[in-house]
Each structure stands twice: as C-alpha cells, then as structure tokens.
Structure 1
Amino acid sequence: MTTDLNAGSTATATSMIMQVTDDAAEVVLGALAEEADGPTLGLRVAISGTEMSPSMTFEFGYDLSLHEIGSVDGDDVVYESAGLTVIIPGDSVENLTGATLDVPSNPLQGGLVIRNPNRPDMADRIDLSESGSVAERLQNLLNNHVNPSLAAHGGYVELVKVEDSKAFLLMGGGCQGCTMSAATLHQGVATIITQHVPEILDVIDVTDHDAGENPFYQ
C-alpha cells in the first residue's frame, strides 16, 4: 500500500521526507506541463548509489525521473511539497530525510540540486583486503578509490614511500600547483587513508606546489 504523507496540501513540513523549494518546484512543474499526461505524473527521487566528490568526500548519487502516481511501488512514500507530487522509494527514505530539492546557487548552472545533510558510510563504500603490506594496501586504496576521482580533474596522487606510520605522497597533474590541492590532500585524501589503513597515522605532502600554477596543463 502506498504511504501518503500529504493528502492534499495539509501536511506539515515536518511530515515530508525531502523538501522542495518553490524555485525547484517551478522547474519540475514546467517540465510536467509539457507532458501530455503531466497531471498524472509525480517527481520520483531515489538514491542511486554513492560517488566521491571533488573534495574527496563520499556523497549520494541520485536518480530523478517523472513517474506515474498511480503505479508506484508498495513501499513508496508519496506526498506533496510546493504543489509538486513527490515519490520517494522506500529504500531511499532514511537517507533523503532532511534533504532539500533546490536550484543551483549559480543561475548559469541550470538543472536541480539536492542539498542533503546525510552522507554514506565510507566503511561500506570501501572494501580493502586485509592481506598485503601497509604499502600494498595503501597503493590499492589510491589506485581504486582515490585516483579515479582525482582523474576527473586532471590530477593524481602517487605513493612515494611508507616510513614507520607515515605515508609520503606526491600530487601530480592538475593537482600540482593548484591552490586547493594541499587542502584536498589533508582534508580529503588523508582522512580516507588514515581511516582505511589504520597503520598510517600521518600523511606527508612532498609535492613541489611552486612548480607552476598548473603544470599538467602547460
């Protein structure tokens, strides 16, 4: 049976899983107006998985689609927010609670954004083998989880050496010389390393950030 948290427009804000701003609702309602069956459709918002952001933090990925209100699944939650019918799959309810569907802060960006205070559990996202040396496990972490994200921005991280409980890393490509690279390393990469390779207590950046503004692109 479909759970209806908002029978009409009487539901309170606290009864909604994910809030929808007026600006975001205007975008979606505009799209619905172009659909022949628009009055029978709602906006379905589901968590599609997890992804690593440019700041090296794990965030949820989302799937937004127009969906027939009359054919929702039994555990879906259906309600109204800002005049828009919202459909949340049962397995996305917990991690979308407290989120807000909005438009980007930059008006030139277009589309929609979900501002979600919830974050995926990194321990569930990264599964490292407990076998191998500290250096081998650290290299595995960099190869399979850190560098794929940095590659999207033209950068990478190399493991120079492991000495006692310290890991010495070199940032290259778009990361070298980037004003944000040091912050990215210590706030993002270092956190991931120390959480998933507990033998490492300190991460040392040995990059020559004065080699250029962005040597990778020169």
Structure 2
Amino acid sequence: MQTTYATPARSEASARGQTLGLPQREKSFPCGPPVTITDKALKKIVEAKQKLGLPVKGLRVSAHPRSVLRADFSLRFVPAGEEDSPADSIHRYEGIDLYVASDSAPYLEGATIDFVFSLLSSDFKVEAPLRRLDTPQSRTAAKIQQVLDEEVIPALATHGGGAVVVDFKDGVVFLELTGGCQGCRLAGATMKDGIEASIRRSFPEITEVRDVTKHADGKSPYA
C-alpha cells in the first residue's frame, strides 16, 4: 500500500468514515480532522493490516505537492517500531490510527480515502479538493474548478473523463485531464474547443489554458 494515488473529482463517503474518538497525544489538526474514510476503504485497510502479519500502529497518508493548491497522495502502514514524529497528528478511526505530518495536513482538508473498483483492477484512492488559500489566485482557481464541475465535466463524464485545476498563476490555468480523457487522441480538441472556450467565457482575464496531463500514463483513454 505504498502507491501514489491521483486526485480526481470528489467521491461520496459514508457516515462511518467520520473521525471517531479524540486525537491522541494532545495533537490535533489546525482546522479539525481533514480526512474521511469510507466504509469500503476502512474495511479493506483493516483486512490489509491483518494480512500483513506484522505489528503496525497505524496508517500514514502523505501529500506530495504538485503545486501550492494540489498534491498527489500515498498511503503506507506505520510499523510498530517506527519512532513517532512531533510533527505528526494522529487520529483514531474504527480499527486504525491515521498519521498525518503537519506539512501534509493542509492538502488533506476535506479529503476522502476510498477503495475503488474498476474493470481491470481495484485500489485505494485519496481525493481532495483544491487547497484553501486566501489569495486572489487561489480563489480564482477554485472558481475555475467550479465552472468546470458545472459546465464541462458532466460532458466529459459520459466518456469516463474529467478535468482538474492543478494550479493558476500569472493568468495561466494549469489543467490535468483524467480518466478517459488521459491519453485520448481527441484530448487536444477537447481542451481547446471545449474546456478552454468555457473557461474564457467566464474568465476573460485568462491568457492561457495549459494541459499538463501525463497522457502517456493514461490507462483507459476513450479514443
């Protein structure tokens, strides 16, 4: 369970995924517990912990920043003998303690850990909204993502695709296409004629919409 996971659109989580109990060792997240664990993910985490056959004291979720607004995430079990870090926040869920370092916590506010099934595989996935920064650019980035969610992504979703704002600075929007749009031979046209046109209608101050998708890594492109 040491793979890096992408951060596509939000997923729904169940009530059991809410944090149970109080933080240990008088540690807490600055804005409260930021992570929800779904029923499916919690069950799979407990199963994996039992199958491991080694003493572990928790699960660590780490953020690997791609920009000041968004990060990729990884999960790993914390061995029982690993020394605690004073920078860690520890929260107790049903059957597992979740470890989060202070530099990862801002990217995890509002995040969800889920277990997702597909036709070819199944795996854990960490999804998180754009990091909340009180700056003009971050506020604009959040508004751009909202426009995508409302006007663009419903159409992309019919082909199993999606789009996320990775960053916004100096008038340039950095976008990543996901799912069926990653590696699709029509991705260029989708970006130019669909996504960019929609963004420019709502934000005339945007000077460029740049595709930063790693299209060669696409696992199931639509075309």
User: What TM-score, normalized by structure 1, do the two folds share?
Assistant: 0.51
Distance 1:119 1:103, change over 3 A: same
Report the Cα offset of residue 110 of structure 1: 1.2
Question: How many pairs were matched up?
Answer: 152
Larger helix proportion of the pair: 1
Distance 1:34 1:59, change over 3 A: same
Larger radius of gyration: 1
Q: 2:115 aligns with which of 99, 103, 108?
A: 103
Per the alignment, residue 92 of structure 1 pairs with: 104
| Inter-partner Cα distance in structure 2 for 1:89 and 1:74 | 9
Report the Cα offset of residue 16 of structure 1: 2.8
Q: Trace 1:115-194 onto structure 2 (pairs within 5 A).
A: 115-119=127-131, 121=138, 125=167, 153-154=182-183, 173-175=185-187, 182-187=193-198, 194=205
Deviations 1:195-218 (A, max 9, x none): 4x4xx8xx9xxxxxxxxxxxxx7x
Per the alignment, residue 23 of structure 2 pairs with: 6
Deviations 1:1-20 (A, max 9, x none): xxx9435xxx9xx9533121
SS at match of 1:91: coil
Deviations 1:104-134 (A, max 9, x none): 3757651122232333746x95666xxxxxx
| Inter-partner Cα distance in structure 1 for 2:46 and 2:36 | 15
Report the Cα offset of residue 50 of structure 1: 2.0
| Inter-partner Cα distance in structure 1 for 2:104 and 2:124 | 18
Distance 1:5 1:190, change over 3 A: farther
Q: Answer whether contact 2:38 2:112 (CA < 8 A) is retained.
A: yes
Deviations 1:69-122 (A, max 9, x none): 552311101111232211011112223122221123757651122232333746
Q: Answer whether contact 2:106 2:131 (CA < 8 A) is retained.
A: no
Q: 2:58 aligns with which of 26, 30, 42?
A: 42
SS at match of 1:48: strand
Per the alignment, residue 135 of structure 1 pairs with: none
**2:85 is the alignment partner of 1:73:** yes
Distance 1:108 1:35, change over 3 A: same
| Inter-partner Cα distance in structure 2 for 1:176 and 1:192 | 20
Q: Answer whether contact 1:76 1:88 (CA < 8 A) is retained.
A: yes
SS at match of 1:37: coil
Partner amino acid, structure 2, of 1:42: G
Q: Give the share of equivalent positions with the same residue, in percent.
A: 17
| Inter-partner Cα distance in structure 1 for 2:203 and 2:72 | 19
SS at match of 1:182: helix
Q: Answer whether contact 2:23 2:89 (CA < 8 A) is retained.
A: no
| Inter-partner Cα distance in structure 2 for 1:191 and 1:64 | 37
Q: Answer whether contact 1:5 1:77 (CA < 8 A) is retained.
A: no
Q: Answer whether contact 1:21 1:82 (CA < 8 A) is retained.
A: no
Report the Cα offset of residue 68 of structure 1: 2.8
* Structure 1 residue ranges without an equivalent (≥5): 52-57, 129-137, 156-172, 204-216
* Structure 2 residue ranges without an equivalent (≥5): 1-20, 133-137, 142-165, 210-222
Deviations 1:163-197 (A, max 9, x none): xxxxxxxxxx523665x8633223468889944x4
SS at match of 2:53: coil
